A and B are shown apart, each in its own frame.
Chain A
Amino acid sequence: MSRILRRHEFVADDWVSLGDTPPGDTESVIVPFATFRENREAWLARRGRLGVRLAPADRVEDLAPDLPRLSLVAVEFTGPGEGRGYTTARLLRQRYHFTGEIRAVGHVKQDQLYLMHRCGIDAFELAPTEKPEEALATLTRFKVAYTPGAPLPGLVRERFRTQREA
């Protein structure tokens, strides 16, 4: 079982990604969005927890009606320059008020964790080459930020505020 950096701790992953064999009815499973849409009712009727994986081009609006019944959304990053996931995460948290886990999957490297976290991603499935301690350290590297974002320990000041805070 792989390990996940979740809320500043490395924990054993208690989720499985949908593979060739169907998951057990009580298993916590992450399903690609396209697969989920093909059989939405069946997936939602399972007893186990359900997560959906959004590819970069998937529209978060299309998943919005089902968010209250999901425990996890996995946001996929397909390469070092792929940036759509940052907006996806931000909209999940800020516009749709999703409170479950948002997990970065795919090309997830230490150099992007800070920005991902600030957009509301709170769990990271790190690429296999990543060094866990270095990755963790990046989340406490920044003491200040200009724009508002998800809180981080050690981040003590932001310059700007959102409309809601103002």
Chain B
Amino acid sequence: MYRYDEIDQAVVDQRVAEFRDQTRRYLAGELSEDEFRPLRLRNGLYIQRHAPMLRIAIPYGLLSTRQLRKLAEIARKYDRGYGHFTTRQNMQLNWPELRNVPDILEELASVQMHAIQTSGNCVRNVTADHLAGIAPDELDDPRPYCEILRQWSTLNPEFTYLPRKFKIAVTGSPQDRAASEVHDIGLQMQRGSEGEIGFKVFVGGGLGRTPIIGQVVREFLPVPDLLAYCEAILRVYNRFGRRDNIHKARIKILVKSLGIEEFRRQVEAEWEGSKDFATRLEPAEVERVRQFFRPPAYETLENIDAAHNRELEFQTWYRYNTRQHKVPGYRAVFVCLKAHGSVPGDMTSDQMDAVADLADRVSFGLVRTTHNQNLMLADVRQIDLYDTWQELKRLGLASPNIGTLTDMIACPGLDFCGLANAGTIAVAKQIQQQFDDLDYLYDLGDIEIKMSGCMNACGHHHVGHIGILGVDKHGEEWYQITLGGSVNGFTALGDVIGPSVRQHEVAPTLQRIVDVYRARREDGERFIDTYRRIGLKPFKDSVYVQDSAAA
């Protein structure tokens, strides 16, 4: 993985010192709340329902075990002994105290981590495919470019006070596990006519209250122009994005109002007009960063049938919680944060420490965070899988439900978040209870549930096969359900099935939805494919037929 040089370390240290001073001035009354807000937000610090919330950056979801142990230690020392992993591959602490935050940042800096620009109207953590570097279908590893973009966007003088937040994702695979088409800029790696690597550039995707799928602004962007072109996009946005209405300030609104043709014309003109002062990405710098992402020292092994002659429980876990690896003899292993009774994405400090120990033993000392709020040990020898499973099982991290209905995405919701309209944790537990039969879940197959506690859509409900959105109705928590959303190579926004339902009706409603699927599916057809074939109506008819609770 990438290791800081003296520039990286100094940038982070400088920012810690600066933030320490800003916090001191705020606590001393020298900075008003309004003045402190944009400063603290640019360091990942929200003021939430119960306490501040600190969002720690995990660039493109890659952690060393040393860093994971530090997260465990920080959660134990400054919080309540657990952290929450997010869809953007970061980790949030729900209970830190403001006066301790500079110390937390200093501890993070000691392991080459930070919370810079994890919130606020600036360029956020750059995310990537969690199978980057190991997926058989990958063109090239996207992470060197994520790291380069991280550095370029960190404390960028021109683009730190944008109209609104700005998210970039990079994928090296046509499967687009990074959901790049619902990002402000989505970069999909491509090969040019000479076989050289470059990017197809999407712009203006995003969820939130106005979900929009990104459009192609440039079919092929050569690597040396990556930063210059992003600067052109951001400059057009910084100048002409709306600042009068927070709900219309994302770049997607600008792209929509100009139209992609006019937006492209402006970006290309800006790019052309800044050729001599734009930031150039030199091949030597790309090469320097790429060196850090070279494959680990894989052994020469052959693929084995790791599940052969093992108990059914292991075979099931193997099938659902491990993934193919491009190197023979290896598998990628999910560390499941979606066990029955758990809060999706939550992990205790003790679990983090134990997973760090395990990763040191079986996966080259590296751990990944995934968009789906699980962790991953990416490079496990197939002969180590059984032992790995036993250890994960002991830790409560081997629930074999990855990719099933209960491997759901959920934001923290009303229990923690100051923005939320409705709870998500209670609903998640309700769904876990309703669908607690594993064989039944396996029969349902690949169904993605994504749940947000408000229309800001941190839980990406628009792109869930089944999306759940919490809404407030006269002080009560209600839930609007959408069907047919997806990412992963076919980006689509879900359709609202009908009127929202009360909290206790969410799981029964889901039951009726999957009953329709089971009745109507054809051989081997996934939920999303059945939905695309038969449309919304059969589901709608069934959900509301005898329902008096809907309003």
Contacts and interface: CB of A to CB of B under 8 A. Distances in A.
A109 interface: yes
A82 B161 contact: yes
B277 A143 contact: no
Contacts of B509: none
Given A141-B14, A159-B7, A160-B227, A87 B274 contact: no
A56 B423 CA distance: 40
Interface in A107-122: 109, 111-112, 114-116, 118-119
A81 interface: yes
A162 B277 CA distance: 5
A87 B10 contact: no
A146 B7 contact: yes
Given A80-B37, A147-B152, A166-B282, 16 more contacts: A81-B243, A82-B161, A83-B161, A86-B158, A90-B157, A94-B274, A115-B155, A115-B157, A115-B160, A119-B158, A146-B156, A157-B7, A159-B151, A160-B280, A163-B228, A163-B278
Interface string B32-50: 0011011100000000000
Contacts of B243: 56, 81-82, 84
Nearest to A165: B280
A39 to B, nearest CB: 26
Interface of A: 56, 80-84, 86-87, 90, 94-95, 109, 111-112, 114-116, 118-119, 141-149, 157, 159-166
B22 interface: yes
Interface of B: 6-7, 10-11, 14, 17-18, 22, 34-35, 37-39, 121, 151-152, 154-163, 227-228, 235, 238-239, 243, 273-282, 285
Contacts of A165: 280
Considering residues A119, A141, A147, which has the most beta carbons from chain B within 10 angstroms of its beta carbon? A147
14 contacts: A83-B159, A87-B238, A94-B277, A111-B22, A114-B157, A144-B11, A145-B11, A146-B7, A146-B11, A147-B279, A159-B7, A160-B281, A160-B285, A162-B280
B7 A95 contact: no
B10 A163 contact: no
Given A94-B277, A141-B14, A86 B238 contact: yes
A95 B274 contact: yes
A112 B279 CA distance: 22
Contacts of B151: 146, 159-160
Given A84-B238, A95-B274, A161 B280 contact: yes
A145 B34 contact: no
Nearest to B282: A166
A86 B238 CA distance: 9
A153 to B, nearest CB: 15
Nearest to B163: A83
A146 B538 CA distance: 55
Contacts of B37: 80
Nearest to A149: B157
